[in-house]
Amino acid sequence: MNGILIVDKPAGPTSHDVVSRVRKILQQRQVGHLGTLDPLATGVLPLVVGNFTRLAQFYLSSGKSYTGVMRFGFATDTYDAEGEASSAMQTVTLSCESVREIAARFRGSIEQMPPPFSAKKIQGVPAYKLARRKADVPLKPVKVEIKELEILQVEGDRVQFRARVTAGTYVRSLAHDMGQQMGCGAHLESLRRTASGEFELADAHTLEELEAAATSGQAEELFVHPRKILPQFPCVTANEETVAYIRNGRAMNLPEFSSARMVKVFCGQRELVAIAKRVAGTLFHPEIVLTAEREVKLTAQQP
């Protein structure tokens, strides 16, 4: 079972919890995720299954889109609603104009400090472990880009927003920093990821839907069609001879893709055989082979 599955993550479990549950549902050991979601957050959590775990390297810089709610009036130690208040609670009256003025300061490339309760490593130790021990968490700011930050509605002390950000951006930190700018403190009350890379909520399935499909032997029907993944790479449908070359790690000539840097090589409509990289002129060499020669030989020997 190989492919990419998009889970609509519920609030509560960690991303690792979701991966563990999917492993049990699919009875598949090789399952990983393409970027974590905090336990509080819901929405698009792409999972790679089987040999497709090898594609994770191409998703390290995938952008993310979110909707959510920030609550102003006090900050928390985790920068979200799961933490303890770290500032005195204030009664605030917000206007769309004032919040949008503050939001405008964060659009574009900024230096952002990760939350102390995060998975950032400090001398090999996750920051959240140090924070739980009340130890110093000497984090360094990271350059990120807030491509879109739209204030949708302001009601009392709560602000609904939509954001589109680069990989590595903490929306919790964004809420915390906006609260500091407003002088009243703020934290992230809720968050829903609506897109991660090319994957959107329309592609997502609940864990309950996956479990039902697996019970009826139809789990793979919920996987993303392999031709939809990595849309920045053109698709090549190879003949059997070329597929054999690719599976053996040999290069192939693709004159019609002379301007492409990488291509997806398919056998038929659905079987993704490899990701190939242009090495010179029109010559492409397999960067990742998803169906090994040994596996092909074993399959051929079966009666």
3-class secondary-structure state, position 28: coil
Nearest Cα to Cα of residue 71 among 170, 152, 185: 185
Distance CA 168, CA 140 (A): 13
**Is 38 annotated in the active site?**
yes
Q: Burial, 68: exposed, middle or buried (Cβ in 10 Å; 0-12, 13-18, 19+)? A: buried
Nearest Cα to Cα of residue 236 among 186, 196, 208, 276: 276
Burial pattern 90-102, b for ≥16 Cβ within 10 A else e, equals eebebeeeebeeb
Helix then strand then coil, % of the chain, to nearest 5: 30, 35, 40
Distance CA 35, CA 96 (A): 32
Nearest Cα to Cα of residue 257 among 284, 230, 295: 284
**Helix residue ranges per DSSP H, the chain:** 15-26, 96-104, 127-132, 171-182, 207-215, 240-247, 293-301
Residue with tokens 């995060």, as numbered in its chain: 118
Options 38, 80, 157, 177, the catalytic residue: 38
Catalytic residues: 38
